[in-house]
Structures are given as C-alpha cells and as structure tokens.
C-alpha cells in the first residue's frame, strides 16, 4: 500500500468546532497531511486566533463562522463558501457539548441543547456539505462520536444518547450516500485531555479510576486522534463506510 493513499494534498476540509480541543488538533493534523482547512466556530474572535495559530504552522486556512445548530445559517455559509471559494472535500463534524447532572434532575432545556448541538448539527452540516459532494461524486464525512457511543456513566445519560445517535446517523448517511461516492464514518475518542474534560482531568479520583479502567492506563492525547482522522479522510478508506472507529486505549474492549 502506497503512503500516497494518506496524502490530502489538494483537498479542503471543514472542521466544525475547531477553535480548540479535538477540532483544533485535527485541523493541525489534516493540514500536516496536505489539506487546506476551513475552521469553524460561533465566536469569530476565538476563531481568528485559532486560524492564526494554524497559519503560523504553515497551513492554508479559511475562517467560516456560523452556528452549527441553525439550519438556514449552515446552508447559507456552506453554499456561499462553495460558490465563492471552491469545494469542501472533507467534513469533520466535531462541534459538541457536555452537561452533567443526575438523569432524574437533568434540566429539560439542557437536554434540548445537547440534542441540537450534538445531533442536529451533524444533520445540518452533513446535509449542506453532502449536497455538493453528491454532485461531484466524491466526499468524506467524519462524525466525531465518543466512547459514550458504546458505554454509559452516571450523570451523562443525555450526552450518551446523543453520541449513540451520531453513530446511527453516520450509518444512515453511509446507507444513503455511499452510492454517490461518499464515505461517511464515525471517529470515537475515549477519554482525552481536552477543555471539555478539564474538570475530570483535574479530579484525582476520576483520573485514578480512569487509569485503572483503561487498558492503556492513561488519558489520551489529542494528537493521537490524528492518524485515524487522516485515514478516514483519505483514499486509504475508500471502501470503509458506515463504521465507527474507536480510539480509546482499549476501554471499550475490556470489562
């Protein structure tokens, strides 16, 4: 197998929620593999700072600020970018949020926010990009799932529900769009050191539990997601469709 199968030169990747955390790390990684990167977030100032960091590393960067939960805004932004700049060849649906509370006390408005941010956004951005990809007969969609796609923990039942839904929506995308030349897959991180998980990282009891529970015995580093993301974004995965790849240090493989 030629290493060229993993080369993203000449491709353009939109990564939602790429101002920080996993999304920002994936932007660095896909850029290093040759892709031009379209960074996205709601906060234009924060997005500009993230874009500047990527440009200083030598990447070709575009900034596209929009709210992934707003269907009309997503469609206008994607269509406008495609018309003015060119094709989006790769979409990484990374935007997401977490909220923790016992299920019996979980606020209804918090549940709705999770549904919109973690599930509806994947539909909105995925559909907007796929409509253009279908016309070209090619495209890659990588939906960021979670170890909670397969497992549950106390206090995050709604989050677990959303990430399970993302994996099934990924299967649906593949089922509808594979015939048009698209590959749609999920990438499921385990427990990684990110801003979203900072409270857990800072909790010595949780970290001790995680180190015992995870066969690898540690938190993941966000750079360790890059290889899997490049694989799912490249020609190397040309016949991989509708699957979810877990990058979790073995936590879903063991009791």
- Secondary structure class of 221 (helix, strand, coil): coil
Choosing from 106, 159, 191, 219, the catalytic residue is 159
Instruction: With beta carbons less than 8 A apart as the criterion, state whether 184 and 229 touch.
Output: no
Could you tell me the sign of the dihedral formed by the alpha carbons of 232, 114, 19, 61, in that order? positive
Could you tell me the sign of the dihedral formed by the alpha carbons of 219, 224, 228, 233, in that order? positive
In whole angstroms, what is the distance from residue 80 CA to residue 22 CA? 26
| Angle, in degrees to the nearest 10, between helices 157-177 and 121-136 | 10
In whole angstroms, what is the distance from residue 187 CA to residue 142 CA? 7
Longest dimension (CA), the chain: 53
Segment (H or E) for 174 = helix 157-177
139-144, strands of its sheet edge to edge: 61-65, 36-41, 12-15, 90-93, 139-144, 182-189, 244-247
In whole angstroms, what is the distance from residue 88 CA to residue 1 CA? 26
Q: Would you call 159 a catalytic residue per the annotation?
A: yes
What are the residue numbers of the active site? 159
């Amino acid at each position: 197998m030629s290493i060229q199968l993993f080369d993203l030169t000449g491709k353009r990747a939109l990564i939602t929620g790429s101002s920080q955390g996993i999304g920002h790390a994936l932007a660095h990684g896909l850029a290093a593999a040759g892709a031009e990167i379209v960074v996205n977030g709601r906060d234009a100032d924060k997005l500009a700072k993230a874009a500047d960091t990527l440009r200083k590393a030598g990447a070709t960067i575009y900034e596209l600020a929009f709210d992934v939960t707003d269907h009309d805004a997503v469609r206008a932004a994607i269509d406008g970018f495609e018309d003015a700049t060119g094709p989006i060849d790769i979409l990484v649906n990374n935007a997401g949020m977490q909220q923790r509370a016992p299920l019996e006390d979980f606020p209804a408005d918090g549940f709705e926010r999770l549904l919109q941010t973690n599930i509806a956004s994947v539909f909105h951005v995925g559909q907007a990009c796929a409509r253009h990809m279908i016309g070209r007969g090619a495209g890659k969609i990588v939906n960021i799932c979670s170890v909670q796609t397969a497992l549950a923990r106390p206090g995050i039942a709604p989050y677990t529900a959303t990430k399970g839904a993302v994996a099934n929506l990924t299967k649906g995308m593949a089922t509808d769009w594979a015939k048009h030349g698209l590959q749609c897959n999920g990438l499921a991180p385990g427990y990684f050191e990110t801003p979203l998980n900072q409270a857990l990282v800072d909790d010595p009891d949780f970290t001790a539990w995680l180190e015992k529970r995870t066969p690898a015995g540690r938190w993941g580093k966000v750079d360790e997601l890059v290889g899997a993301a490049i694989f799912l974004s490249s020609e190397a995965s040309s016949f991989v469709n509708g699957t979810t790849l877990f990058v979790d240090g073995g936590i879903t493989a063991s009791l």
